[in-house]
Amino acid sequence: MIYLKYLQHLLEHKWRVGIECIKMGMIWHAITHDLSKFRPSEFIAYAKHFYAGPRRDLFETAWCHHQHRNKHHWHYWVKADGHAVPMPRKYVKQMVVDWRGLGRQVGFDRAGVFYSKNKHRMVLHKSTKSLILDIMYGEILNDKER
């Protein structure tokens, strides 16, 4: 039962992110977003953590795998020495649509709310910060890659 509940949650997230991707002309990412969450190394740990009681040990390992398998997470772009390298625009856009999809799923409307609440914990290159603001607050929709 926990696996079905998590599957439903995951599919809803993919759906909401997919809608945001389509708004920004990112059709392929709408399809491929978070596919690693279907891998047993992530899926089982996430399901157990969220639907069978917190399993911090399992979840942290799965979350680390997820962040480093998916370039739309800022964590992917942090070097071993703790310094961030610039994220390409393509992946910043994917990160913002992920935040927008998450926001619609959990009840806030804008990616800016998520960013404002979490930016102090993010290790971002200054050019990545500028791109985030440009994409979120410039309301750049349906633009093609520059």
Residue 67 near residue 108, CB atoms below 8 Å: no
What mean pLDDT do residues 1-22 have?
95
Residue 103: what pLDDT? 81
| Closest by CA position to 115, among listed 93, 94, 100 | 100
- Tell me the two tokens of residue 70: 């998916």
- pLDDT above 60: residue 100: yes
- Tell me the two tokens of residue 1: 């039962």
- State the pLDDT confidence band at 141, using cuts at 50, 70 and 90: very low
Q: Spell out the long-range contacts of 80-87 with Cβ–Cβ below 8 A and sequence spacing 24 or more.
A: 82/123, 83/123, 84/123, 84/124, 84/125, 84/128, 85/125, 86/125, 86/127, 86/128, 87/124, 87/125, 87/128, 87/131
Beta-bridge partners for 84:
78
Q: What is the pTM of this model?
A: 0.86
Please report the sign of the dihedral spanned by the C-alpha atoms of residue 24, residue 26, residue 30, residue 33: negative
Residue 109: what pLDDT? 62
- pLDDT above 60: residue 130: yes
Residue 106: what pLDDT? 78
- State the pLDDT confidence band at 105, using cuts at 50, 70 and 90: confident
Q: What element of type H or E holds 45?
A: helix 40-51
Q: Where is pLDDT greater, at 138 or 39? A: 39
What mean pLDDT do residues 14-20 have?
94
